[in-house]
């Protein structure tokens, strides 16, 4: 935005430009979901599927009071054949170029997150990850420190919206190399509970359940996010009005994030 400032103001605006410097980092986001659906209580069968997706993301952080303005673009996406058949080619293709915005506080909290319309199921799935993309850090933390963060907020899911209550415990593990770069490792574990609704075919279902998981994130010596790994076990009941039993859905999700050099 500073390229269009008239030349007469360049000298007096230089400190402001320095304070509001922007840094863009490209990440590779890879996720695998092993899902099982049990419809035997509804007279159906058990089904299983494996969905794999890769997103190449450009995350631009611009200095602002109390944190950074975050702008994220899905540069490209890739899926396996089973995922494309499940989600649909049009939905996958619509995710490319999608732009998301939010505010990243100094402690890693993301707020005022906005997701564009028309991004499709895959775009919504990728967009929903940005809320937990960065670790929540304690100011001045040192190796061995532990802290816990709780939150409650809506999250977009395929054909619905849930309210996720989350409790995450962090432990600083000290200096380590990650992907060849000096970093600080932060281990974490979490539990969630989910309530909300989701469409099952033409029918709306109430959702109950939760998840648990763990992983490790890595920060550079300057505090930049370098990525890491995360695993989650998710168990949900989808309760259809008038149905004799709920639809049971379980999913194991593994995620790896790395910086594209």
Q: Percent of the chain having pLDDT more than 70?
A: 90
The answer, yes or no, to whether residue 224 has pLDDT greater than 60, is yes
Is residue 87 very low, low, confident or very high in pLDDT (cuts 50, 70, 90)?
A: confident
Q: Of 3 and 135, which is predicted with more confidence? A: 135
Mean pLDDT across the stretch 15-33? Answer: 78
Structure confidence at residue 18 (pLDDT): 43
Q: What is the pLDDT of residue 162?
A: 86
Backbone angles phi, psi at 223, to 5 degrees: 95, 0
pLDDT average, residue stretch 6-24:
51
Q: What is the pLDDT of residue 158?
A: 63
Residue 3's pLDDT band (cuts 50, 70, 90): very low
Going by pLDDT thresholds of 50, 70 and 90, the confidence category of residue 143 is very high
Distance CA 160, CA 206 (A): 10
Mean pLDDT (the chain) is 86
Q: Report the pLDDT value the prediction gives residue 13, as an integer from 0 to 100.
A: 38
Which of 34-43, 122-131, 170-179 comes out lowest in average pLDDT?
122-131
Q: Let me know if 45 is exposed, middle or buried by CB neighbors in 10 A (0-12, 13-18, 19+).
A: exposed
Give the pLDDT of residue 21. 84
Q: Would you state the pLDDT for residue 187?
A: 97
Q: Is the pLDDT of residue 241 over 80?
A: yes
Helix, strand, or coil here: 123?
helix
Hunting for tokens 């989701």 — which residue is that? 198
pLDDT digits (tens, 9 = 90+) for 195-214: 999 888 788 889 999 999 99
Q: Is the pLDDT of residue 242 over 90?
A: no
Residue 109, pLDDT score: 86
Question: According to the model, what pLDDT value does residue 119 have?
Answer: 77
Categorize the per-residue pLDDT at 7 as very low, low, confident or very high, splitting at 50, 70 and 90: very low
Residues 6 or more apart whose CB falls under 8 angstroms from that of 212 comprise: 189, 190, 191, 192, 232, 233
Model pLDDT, residue 141: 92
Domains of the chain: 22-259 (2.30.230)
pLDDT value, residue 10 = 37
pLDDT at 69: 94
Name the pTM for this structure: 0.81
Token duo for residue 171: 């432990």
- The confidence score (pLDDT) of residue 115 equals 81
Q: What pLDDT score was predicted for residue 85?
A: 85
Half-sphere exposure of 191 (CA within 13 A, CB side): 2
In 3D space, the residue among 53, 52, 56 whose CA is nearest the CA of residue 260 turns out to be 56
pLDDT average, residue stretch 176-186 = 93
Specify the higher pLDDT residue, 86 or 197. Answer: 197
């Amino acid at each position: 935005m500073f390229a269009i400032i008239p030349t007469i103001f360049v000298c007096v605006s230089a400190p402001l430009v320095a304070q509001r410097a922007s840094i863009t980092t490209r990440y590779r986001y890879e996720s695998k979901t092993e899902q099982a659906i049990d419809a035997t209580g509804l007279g159906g069968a058990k089904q299983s599927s494996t969905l794999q997706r890769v997103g190449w993301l450009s995350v631009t952080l611009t200095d602002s009071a109390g944190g950074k303005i975050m702008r994220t673009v899905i540069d490209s996406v890739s899926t396996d054949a089973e995922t494309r058949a499940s989600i649909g080619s049009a939905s996958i293709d619509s995710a490319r170029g999608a732009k998301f915005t939010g505010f990243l506080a100094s402690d890693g909290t993301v707020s005022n997150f906005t997701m564009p319309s028309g991004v499709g199921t895959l775009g919504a799935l990728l967009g929903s990850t940005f809320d937990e993309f960065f670790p929540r850090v304690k100011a001045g933390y040192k190796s061995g420190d532990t802290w816990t963060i709780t939150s409650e907020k809506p999250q977009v899911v395929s054909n619905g919206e849930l309210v996720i209550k989350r409790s995450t415990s962090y432990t600083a593990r000290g200096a380590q190399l990650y992907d060849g770069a000096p970093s600080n490792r932060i281990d974490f574990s979490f539990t969630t509970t989910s309530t909300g609704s989701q469409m099952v075919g033409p029918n709306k279902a109430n959702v109950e359940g939760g998840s648990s998981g763990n992983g490790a994130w890595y920060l550079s010596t300057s505090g930049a996010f370098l990525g890491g790994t995360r695993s989650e076990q998710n168990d949900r009941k989808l309760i259809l009005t008038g149905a004799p039993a709920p639809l049971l859905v379980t999913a194991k999700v593994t995620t790896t994030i790395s910086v594209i050099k």
